Amino acid sequence: MSPPLTDARSAALYAEALKVLPGGVNSPVRAMRAIGRDPLFVERGEGAEIVDADGNRYIDYVCSWGPLIHGHAHPEVVAAISAAAARGTSFGAPTAGEVELAEEVAARFPSVEMVRMTSSGTEASMSALRLARAATGREKVLKFAGAYHGHVDGLLAEAGSGLATQGIPASPGVPAAATAATVIVPWNDPQALRAAVAEHGDRLAAIVAEPYPANMGVVLPREGFLALLREQADASGALLILDEVISGFRVARGGAQAREQIRPDLTIMGKVLGGGLPAAAYAGPRALMEQIAPAGDVYQAGTLSGNPLAVAAGLATLRLLDGDAYDRLEATTTALAAGLRDGAAAAGRTVEVVDVPGLLTVFFREGPVRDYADAAASDRDAHAAWCRALLAHGVYPPPSQFEAWFPSLAHDDAVVRRTLDAAAAAFQETAP
Ligand SMILES: *Cc1c(COP(=O)(O)O)cnc(C)c1O
């Protein structure tokens, strides 16, 4: 676990990238600005590890931000992709694999009878909202502060704290009209939720939530909060849309909705579903899903939707996810979380480690962390310093306080031990 000898090649690639890619990257969080350094360019991945352009090796806890639940280049996933590619990469006509994948999803999610695939989670949530608006004849959508549902205009809205506020665009270029129909409520605040539903309920098409929010760091729902979402949706006639792009197929066979015994009207899926290739979906009962064209008149389409390579990768990935796999992923996550708490304590550091199977966040603050405001009050400089030290010890963490770690099934006991040694050293080295 030697520190990087050099990042000269990554630095040179970054300099070139800055000339032709905005900010040098194709998705902002890769830039590592939040931890005060330049990005590392990845050359290849093997199981739990990645190797950068300078030949440095890291234990990877980003794992493509969630899709790689079996780690990098799992032989069965690679074989499935290769076999599919040899038969042709895309047809613009249906293939058997799409039916098999939809059947596999429906078998895992009791709330799902039918599936419509897209190429990204963003498209899936945009399309789920369109369907919810069409099905209810209403326009407003309630989302939670700090929740991410892709870069859909209407959902790129933040809010002040306190009671529900009308959405204000969080990015230039998002028209005020696009977020005017968005109502934002702090996560885990039953009173604010009730107040917002009381005010907007008769115009509310959907309540959309990540059941285990993981885009403000992992912030678990408090006891009864998910049940309250279901209750408030029912009381107002809104649909409940659970965004399980991260949690689906990861925290349990049937996602967070299975663990928490909550039945949504629609589910948004992605990440693990595509096994590392671009695939996502929205899914639900036949009566809703058959409103989508061509069964119904809610239009939505995609040139590469249900792409044969992505479907093959997704099917191979899901077929490897049996009960034993979920037990192992849970044991790995629990061991990591416990070891991270111990490492911090040994260095006299105050952190709050939040974990569910397959996901964890180390917040640099006291617990509990209940909502976005709590997460945002973490010591981000301390987090950044710790992340830079982890990289120097050969561990590649998600480079933001507001992201989850994604351990995979390739992260075995030895990898966990090496991670915890590195983390303990990083806690010590960066202690104030
Ligand atoms: C990643 C993510 C999305 C967006 O998916 P993309 O494929 O990146 O468009 C939506 N919702 C959640 C919860 C996510 O984590």
In contact, 229 and 207? CB cutoff 8 Å: yes
- 52 pLDDT above the threshold of 70: yes
335-379 tens-digit pLDDT: 999 999 999 999 999 999 999 999 999 999 999 999 999 999 999
287-315 tens-digit pLDDT: 999 999 999 999 999 999 999 999 999 99
In ligand 1, the atom with minimum distance to the C-alpha of 278 is 7
Q: For residues 130 and 2, what is the distance between their CA atoms, to the nearest angstrom?
A: 51
Q: Is residue 156 very low, low, confident or very high in pLDDT (cuts 50, 70, 90)? A: confident
Claim to verify: residue 7 and residue 114 sit in the same structural domain: no
Residue 131, phi then psi, degrees to nearest 5:
-65, -45
Q: 3-state secondary structure string, 70-122? A: CCECCHHHHHHHHHHHHCCCCCCCCCHHHHHHHHHHHHHCCCCCEEEEECCHH
Q: What is the pLDDT of residue 5?
A: 66
Pocket test for ligand 1, best of 156, 210, 245, 403 (most atoms within 8 A of CB): 245
CA–centroid distance, residue 271 to ligand 1 (Å) = 7
What is the identity of the amino acid at 251?
V
Claim to verify: residue 5 and residue 143 sit in the same structural domain: no
**Active-site residue, selected from the candidate residues 14, 61, 148, 212:** 148
Claim to verify: residue 116 and residue 265 sit in the same structural domain: yes
**Domain count across the chain:** 3
CA–centroid distance, residue 122 to ligand 1 (Å) = 6
Question: Quick count: other Cβ atoms within 10 Å of Cβ 199?
Answer: 14
Its domain, for residue 241, covers 75-319
CA–centroid distance, residue 282 to ligand 1 (Å) = 12
| Residue 402 resides in a domain | no
271 a catalytic residue? yes
| Residue 53 resides in a domain | yes
Claim to verify: residue 327 and residue 264 sit in the same structural domain: no
Pocket test for ligand 1, best of 29, 148, 247, 403 (most atoms within 8 A of CB): 148
Question: Quick count: other Cβ atoms within 10 Å of Cβ 18?
Answer: 13
Residue 137, phi then psi, degrees to nearest 5:
70, 20
54-80 tens-digit pLDDT: 999 999 999 999 999 999 999 999 999
Question: Quick count: other Cβ atoms within 10 Å of Cβ 329?
Answer: 22
140 a catalytic residue? no
CA–centroid distance, residue 381 to ligand 1 (Å) = 26
CA–centroid distance, residue 125 to ligand 1 (Å) = 8
**Pocket (CB within 6 angstroms of ligand 1):** 120-122, 125, 148-150, 210, 215, 243, 245-246, 270, 280
CATH of the domain at 192: 3.40.640.10
Claim to verify: residue 186 and residue 239 sit in the same structural domain: yes
Look up residue 306 and give its two tokens: 């249900």
Read off the pLDDT of each residue in 142-165 and give the average, rounded to a whole number: 75
Claim to verify: residue 254 and residue 374 sit in the same structural domain: no
- 239 pLDDT above the threshold of 50: yes
Claim to verify: residue 128 and residue 239 sit in the same structural domain: yes
| Residue 254 resides in a domain | yes
CA 241 to chain centre: 15
Q: For residues 378 and 362, what is the distance between their CA atoms, to the nearest angstrom?
A: 10
**Active-site residue, selected from the candidate residues 7, 60, 189, 243:** 243
CA 400 to chain centre: 13
Look up residue 217 and give its two tokens: 């760091």
Q: For residues 34 and 422, what is the distance between their CA atoms, to the nearest angstrom?
A: 21
| Residue 164 resides in a domain | yes
Claim to verify: residue 282 and residue 349 sit in the same structural domain: no
- 1 pLDDT above the threshold of 70: no
Nearest 10 degrees: Cα torsion 195, 199, 202, 206: -50
282 a catalytic residue? no
> Tokens 């892709």 appear where?
150
- 161 pLDDT above the threshold of 70: no
Residue 298, phi then psi, degrees to nearest 5:
-85, 110
Q: 3-state secondary structure string, 240-261? A: EEEECCCCECCCECCHHHHHHC
| Residue 101 resides in a domain | yes
Claim to verify: residue 85 and residue 51 sit in the same structural domain: no
**Active-site residue, selected from the candidate residues 271, 355, 372, 396:** 271
> Tokens 């989850």 appear where?
404
